[in-house]
Structure formats: structure tokens, C-alpha cells
Amino acid sequence: PKRILLLGVGKTKDFALSELRHASARAVRAATASKCQSLALVLPATDPVDAERVGEFVAEGVLLAGYQFDKYLSGERKRPTTLTEVRLVTAAATGAALDKGIARGEKIAHGVMQARDLAHEQASELTPRRLADFAAELAKSRGLECEILGPAQCAELGMGCFLGVARGSDEEPRLIHLAYKPKGTPRRRVALVGKTVTFDSGGLSLKTTEGMLEMKYDMGGAATVIGAIGVLCELDCPDEVHVICAATENMPSGRAYKLGDVLRSMAGKTVEINNTDAEGRLTLGDAMTYAVEKIGVDEIIDLATLTGSSMVALGNFTGALFSNSDTLAGRLLEASQQGGDDLWRMPLRDRLFDSLKSDIADMKNSGDRYGGSISAALFLREFIGDKTWAHIDMAGPIHADKDFGHVSKGATGFGVATLVELLSPR
């Protein structure tokens, strides 16, 4: 070799195999910066069981490090990397296991990249209708069941909160439901609900320019769950998986929902609006009721770019995890470590629900500034019936300010690898 790269991965006692994702991505970035055409990664010696995971993590790191959303770039900047070949060097005995892992890692990386592409797309292109079209196409190509509901059908179901948010926009809302059913009896039936506000202006509680700048990412939860189901169906996931996305814009207009309005949710609960920018929970509430009443799942996991408060609490790289089940929370934390997404469990403090009390309706949609990510989670909890539930507030990690290992600047695809790890073990 003309160049040799020595890559430090920390202390042996702290090293987890999943860190190979980050390490191999760093190697690819270094090779790209040096305009290398080929790269050979000498992998640590492992037993065959670990070799499969090594293959998976390295494949993900290598592919994700090369990601770029270049659809709107032209000329020089739209240049492919000089790197055309990455070879993995390992003990011959573990080669087959490594290959198996690589195949899995490639599928996961493509799911993550699809989520990144969806989140990166400008809001004027990726409207609720276009996202529904995308979901229908995906369903067709992967053999998933797909149901798309328009506003009239959502009105019939009584989705007053979802439709209340949608009212201010010229773009029609869509409820997107994708389903994957395994062969034989499913281990469990899971709903993945993604926040799908394709653009959040704040509505009449209008955001500032700065606050609105990244609001095309407000459908990041949907990008993640759609990315994940596309992978899960390819990996023979043993669970029945439903993806539900209540897709809408949140816009100000003469028809927009107003402060002081009272919306009636599909679950029958009424909500007084005291902030039209707290719209995500309204759309999610009806989407979760749909999962409870129309599908009848065992478990609900929702992912949402929900609150700035979660970023105040945990910073930009960590998703806030809430759950009514220690078991599900534990499974998600474990999966996130393997998946390379950082999660931290937050408490559901009942006393904070006081800030959501309304004089004229069952509750308000927005509580105190303090503990804002918790009161948002408590709001969602009103819509889960008796189901096992976890909520991931990913307002921070949906987006990265700079490249960091396998995480590229811009939309991150946060959560895809974790959901795949959770629902489709090796």
C-alpha cells in the first residue's frame, strides 16, 4: 500500500463491536480525503458469531460514510468519491460469516440512506401526497400491504386533531398505513408511528425564520419508520409490523386552526389549542388511536421530532426515550447500542400533566416550558389505550451539523438501525 492508516478505537476494555461502524466510516472518510481509489480494512480477529456482526457494522460504516444528498448539486460538487473499492481483510475461517453480515449491513445502510433522502427532500416536493405515493411504490416493490386514507376517510374515522392541523394547508393530508406480515404466526404485532409533518411553519403560532429553517425535517419520524419497514421485510422479521404516518403540513392561512379552538380526537378526547406549533402530538394522537382501534397491535413505538425541550435536556445527538414498560425500554436501549443511535430514558412524571389541564376541554395541547418533552410524552400517553408503548423524541438527532463517522452532515436516518435491531435479530 502507498498509505497506511492507523485507526485508534479506544481502550480494549471499553470497545464494543458496534463501534466498528464508526471506525470504518472514519477510515473511508480519511481515504476519500486522501483521494485514494481503494482501501483495505484489516479487521480484528473474532469468532464466527462475532464475524457476522463485524461484517454488518463495517458494511454500514463504509456505505453510510459515502452518503451525500446530491440531487440538487451540479458540476464539480456532484462528484463521486474517488474510492471505488473497499476490501475487508480477515481470517479465512470467518469469511462466510462475514459475508452474511455484510449482506445484512448493506440492507440496513440502504434503509438509513432512504430515510436520509426522504428527510433531505424539500418540503415543496415531498408533500403529504407525494410521500404517500412514495410509500405506495415502496409497498409495491417490497410486497407490503398499503392503505392510504384521504381527508374524507380520516373525517369519517373522527380524526379531528389530525385534520385540525391539516386545515391551514393547501396540500391535502394523507394517512399512510403500510403493513408487513411474516409467514406463519407473528411473534408480536407492532405499530411504528412516525411524526409526519412535511413542513412545520408553526401555524398561526408562527415560527421565526431561524426556527423554521430545518422544518422540512419535521417528517423525520416517518422517514425512519418507512426506512425501517423497507429493511425489515427483506430480513424475514418475525413480527407483524405496521407503519402509520399521519402526513400533513402545518401552515397559517385563513382556514388554519386557531388558538382557543377545541379539537375532538379520534379517541373521543377533546383538546384545547394553546399553541398551534405543538401540532405533532395532535397528529400522532390520532395515528396512535388508529393503531389501537383499527389495527389492534400489541406494542406501539412512535418516533417524532417533537420538542425543542428534548434538545435542551439531552443535546443534539441523543434521542429522548419514554416508555410505560421497563421491558420495552430495556430492549430499545440495548438495540440502540447495537444500532449506533444514542438513546437516553426519560421519566414520565404524572405531576407534569397538571400543566396540560384545560378549563373547557379534556386537556390542552401544550404545557409548561419546563419539562416540555415530558409533558409532550404525557399527552401522547393519553392515546395508547392499554398498549405497551415507547416514544422516542428525536428532535435533536434527526439532523447533524457536521460529519461524524457514519453520520453525515444533514439528515441522519436516526433510529432505522435501532428498529431493525429491535425487531429483526440476527
Give min distance, CB of 279 to Zn ion, in A.
Answer: 5
* Residue 378 or 398 with smaller CB distance to Zn ion: 398
Q: Binding residues for Zn ion, how many (CB under 5 A)? A: 6
Give min distance, CB of 280 to Zn ion, in A.
Answer: 4
Length of the chain: 426
Cα–Cα distances (Å) from 163 to 23, 153, 285, 303, in that order, read 45, 11, 12, 20
Residue with C-alpha cell 411504528? 192
* Residue 111 or 194 with smaller CB distance to Zn ion: 194
Of 63, 36, 37, 52, residue with least CA distance to 405: 63
Listed ranges 62-70, 172-180, 192-200, 358-366: which one lies at the site for Zn ion (CB under 5 A) = 192-200
Give min distance, CB of 197 to Zn ion, in A.
Answer: 5
One character per residue 141-180, x = contact with Zn ion (rule: CB under 5 A)? ----------------------------------------
Touching Zn ion, residues 92-131 (CB under 5 A): none
Torsions phi, psi for 28 (to 5 deg): -65, -40
Q: Which residues pair with 189 in a beta bridge?
A: 240
Alpha-carbon distance of 272 to 359, in angstroms, equals 9
* Residue 94 or 201 with smaller CB distance to Zn ion: 201
Question: CA end-to-end span of the chain, whole Å?
Answer: 35
Residue burial 384-422, b: 16+ Cβ < 10 Å; e: rest: beebbbbbbbbbbbbbbeeeebbbbebbbbbbbbbbbbb
Listed ranges 195-203, 296-304, 333-341, 399-407: which one lies at the site for Zn ion (CB under 5 A) = 195-203
* Residue 60 or 277 with smaller CB distance to Zn ion: 277
Contact residue for Zn ion among 56, 117, 121, 200 (CB under 5 A)? 200
Instruction: Kindly state the greatest CA–CA separation across the chain.
Output: 73
Type and span of the H or E element at 3 = none
Listed ranges 169-177, 194-202, 231-239, 345-353: which one lies at the site for Zn ion (CB under 5 A) = 194-202
Touching Zn ion, residues 217-256 (CB under 5 A): 218
281 included as an active-site residue = yes
* Residue 90 or 198 with smaller CB distance to Zn ion: 198
* Residue 105 or 319 with smaller CB distance to Zn ion: 319
Q: 53 near 61, Cβ under 8 Å?
A: no
Listed ranges 95-103, 261-269, 270-278, 333-341: which one lies at the site for Zn ion (CB under 5 A) = 270-278
Listed ranges 3-11, 210-218, 262-270, 316-324: which one lies at the site for Zn ion (CB under 5 A) = 210-218
Cell of 260: 382557543
Q: Applying CB under 5 A, does 393 fall inside the site for Zn ion?
A: no
* Residue 56 or 200 with smaller CB distance to Zn ion: 200
- What DSSP assignment string belongs to 134-145? HHHHHHHHHT-E
Cβ neighbours of residue 130 closer than 8 Å, sequence gap 6 or more: none
Q: Applying CB under 5 A, does 197 fall inside the site for Zn ion?
A: yes
* Residue 121 or 277 with smaller CB distance to Zn ion: 277
Cα–Cα distances (Å) from 91 to 42, 45, 53, 96, 348, in that order, read 10, 7, 15, 10, 48
DSSP state of 319: E
DSSP state of 342: E
Listed ranges 71-79, 213-221, 319-327, 405-413: which one lies at the site for Zn ion (CB under 5 A) = 213-221
Give min distance, CB of 89 to Zn ion, in A.
Answer: 46
Residue burial 36-72, b: 16+ Cβ < 10 Å; e: rest: beebebebeebeeebbbbbbbbbbbbbbbbbbbbeee
Give min distance, CB of 250 to Zn ion, in A.
Answer: 6
Contact residue for Zn ion among 277, 286, 382, 393 (CB under 5 A)? 277
| Residue tagged active-site, from 107, 281, 364, 381 | 281
Q: Applying CB under 5 A, does 372 fall inside the site for Zn ion?
A: no
Give min distance, CB of 246 to Zn ion, in A.
Answer: 12
Residue with C-alpha cell 409490523? 241
| Residue tagged active-site, from 142, 207, 258, 269 | 207
Q: Which residues bind Zn ion (CB under 5 A)?
A: 197, 200, 218, 277, 279-280
Catalytic residue numbers, as ranges = 207, 281
